[in-house]
Amino acid sequence: MKNPHIKTALPGPKAQEMLARDKAVISPSYPRDYPFVMSHGKGAEVWDVDGNRFLDFMSGIAVCSTGHAHPKVIGAIREASEKFLHISSDYWHDYQVRLGETMNRLAPMGEPVLSFMCQSGTEAVEGALKLARYVTGRPRVLAFLGAFHGRTMGSLSCTASKYTQQKGFFPTMPGVTHVPYPNPYRPLFAGDDQGQAVLNYIENILFASNVPANEVAAILIEPVQGEGGYITPPKGFLEGLRALCDKHGIFLIFDEVQSGVGRTGKMFAAEHTGVKPDIMTLAKGLGSGMPIGMVVAKKPIMEKWARGAHGNTYGGNPVCCAAALATLELVEAEYAANAASVGAYFTERLKDLATRFDVIGDVRGPGLMIGMELVEDKASKKPATKLCDALLTRAFHNGLLLLSCGISTVRFIPPLMISKADVDEAMTIIEASLEEVLAER
Ligand code: PLP
C-alpha cells in the first residue's frame, strides 16, 4: 500500500548509517527485527530519523502506556529531577512514600499491602521469588509452560519459552516445575474444561508424586499470559488456583508486569476475576518508559522480610517514582477505561477481519492486550509462522509497528490512550498488509 507518511525506502539513508554504527558497538543479543531508528514520538505516533511517521502499536513492548512524551509524565519527571536524581534506598523521600500509598489503595489484594521498588520486571519477579521462599521456608516454585518472567537466572528458571531453551544456560535454578497454561484455543488435555484439567494435574499428579505441596513456596502465573501468546485462562481457573494455594499454604504470585496498570482495561488483570494474589509484580507500563518495577505483597507477608534480606541501590528512585505516580493517576482517571472501550472496538474489528480471512484462527485478549493467531487454515489450526513474520515486516513497511508472541500470534499493545481513529488507521494497514502477503504466497 502507499502510505503518505512513509516518505523513503526503509531503512532510509540516515537509518542505514545509524544501523551500521550500531552494529559496530552494540551487543547482537538484542532481537531487532525491523530497521526502525527512532527520532521522536508523540502519543501513538513515532517518527524515524528520515522523517517517516509510523503508528506505534507495540509501545516499547507494552511500556509506553500513556503514549510517547505525555506532558503530565514529562512534567512529573522534570519536577522530580530538578530536585534530586537519587539519594540511595537507605533514605526516605516523598515520591516513594506516595507511590507506596497509591499502591496500597489500588492493589487487588483487598487488604493492606507493602511495596518494594526496583528497576525492571525481571527484578520484580526475582524479588517475589525470593520473598516467597524466604517467608515460607519452602524451596519449590510452580510456573507455567509458555511463561515469560525475565532472563536473570531465577526469573529465567521460571520462564518456559524459546528464551530458556538456548544452550549454555543450564542448570537453571533447581526446584522449578512447569505445568501447562490452560489454553482454550489449543487445548492440551482431553475434555472441555482445560482449567479444571490443569488443576487436577497439579493436585492429583504433581503433588502426589515428586513435587510435594508442602515444599512449594509459590505458584507464579501471568493472569493473562503475555509472551506465550496473549492467552486468557478459562473461567474458574484462577479461582481454582487460589483455592489450591489456600489449601496447601502456597503463595499465589501474579506477574502483572505486562498485564498490569490498565493494559487489560482494568487497573490490574486480577480484577477481571476478583482473585486476590498474595504477591504481585509490576513494571513495564508502570513508569510510562522510566525503569521501575515493584513487588507488592500483602502486609503480613512483606513485613516478614527482615532488614537487609533484600535491597538495591536504585530502588525507589525519585524520578521513576514520580513517573509512576503520574502514570497511575492518568490510568486510573481515564486510560484503563479507554483501553476497555477502544480495546473492545479493536477486537470487534479484528474478529470481523477473521470472518473474511481463513488464516486468522483466533482473536483474543482483554482491553489493549490483544492477540491474533495466524494459522494455515481455521480447520487445521496449523501455525502459520512464516506468514506471521511476513505480515509484521509488511506492516512495518506500510507504517505500523507491531510485534509477535506465542505461536504465530500478532500482538497489539498500543498506548492506552489511542482513539478509535487510530484503530481505524491501523486496521487499514493490517488488512492491506495481510492481502499483500497472501497474494505473494
Ligand atoms: N514478566 C512478564 C510477564 C513480562 O512480560 C516481562 C517482560 O516482557 C518480564 C517479566 C520481564 O520484565 P523486564 O523486561 O522489565 O525485565
pLDDT of residue 165: 67
Which of 162-166, 235-239, 333-337 is the least confident region?
Answer: 162-166
Query: What ipTM does this complex have?
Result: 0.99
Q: Is the pLDDT of residue 125 over 90?
A: yes
Average pLDDT, integer, range 132-158? 95
- How far does the centroid of ligand 1 lie from the alpha carbon of residue 144, in Å? 15
Which of 122-126, 131-135, 308-312, 419-423 is the least confident region?
Answer: 308-312
pTM over 0.95: yes
Measure the CA angle with vertex 74, ends 71 and 79; round to 5°.
Answer: 120
* Predicted confidence (pLDDT) per residue in 317-357, tens digit: 999 999 999 999 999 999 999 999 999 999 999 999 999 99
Above pLDDT 70, what percent of the chain? 99
Which of 155-169, 204-218, 318-332 is the least confident region?
Answer: 155-169
pLDDT of residue 47: 98
- How far does the centroid of ligand 1 lie from the alpha carbon of residue 301, in Å? 23
Q: Which atom of ligand 1 is nearest to the CA of 120?
A: 15
* Predicted confidence (pLDDT) per residue in 180-191, tens digit: 999 999 999 998
Average pLDDT, integer, range 84-95? 91
Q: Is the pLDDT of residue 276 over 90?
A: yes
Q: Which atom of ligand 1 is nearest to the CA of 147?
A: 3
Q: Is the pLDDT of residue 169 over 80?
A: no
122 lines ligand 1 (CB under 6 A): yes
pLDDT of residue 173: 86
Beta strands in 138-208 (DSSP E): 140-144, 176-179
226 lines ligand 1 (CB under 6 A): yes
Nearest CA to ligand 1 atom 12: 121
Best residue among 257, 294, 312, 314 to mutate for probing ligand 1, ranked by most atoms within 8 Å of CB: 257
pLDDT of residue 8: 96
Best residue among 258, 296, 320 to mutate for probing ligand 1, ranked by most atoms within 8 Å of CB: 258
pLDDT of residue 441: 87
pLDDT category at 230 given cuts 50, 70, 90 is very high
* Predicted confidence (pLDDT) per residue in 19-68, tens digit: 999 999 999 888 788 899 999 999 999 999 999 999 999 999 999 999 99
Sign of CA dihedral 344, 230, 422, 336: positive
pLDDT of residue 5: 96
Pick the closest to residue 62 from 362, 302, 365, 270 (CA basis).
365
Strand, coil or helix: 363 = strand
**Backbone dihedral angles phi then psi of residue 144, each to the nearest 5 degrees:** -120, 145
**Backbone dihedral angles phi then psi of residue 388, each to the nearest 5 degrees:** -60, -45
Q: Is the pLDDT of residue 396 over 90?
A: yes
pLDDT of residue 172: 83
Contact status, residue 270 vs residue 278, Cβ threshold 8 Å: no
- How far does the centroid of ligand 1 lie from the alpha carbon of residue 148, in Å? 7
Query: What's the chain's average pLDDT?
Result: 96
Q: Which atom of ligand 1 is nearest to the CA of 284?
A: 15
pLDDT of residue 306: 86
- How far does the centroid of ligand 1 lie from the alpha carbon of residue 118, in Å? 13
Best residue among 29, 148, 286 to mutate for probing ligand 1, ranked by most atoms within 8 Å of CB: 148
Radius of gyration of the chain (CA): 22
Best residue among 30, 284, 404 to mutate for probing ligand 1, ranked by most atoms within 8 Å of CB: 284
Domains of the chain: 13-70+335-439 (3.90.1150.10), 71-331 (3.40.640.10)
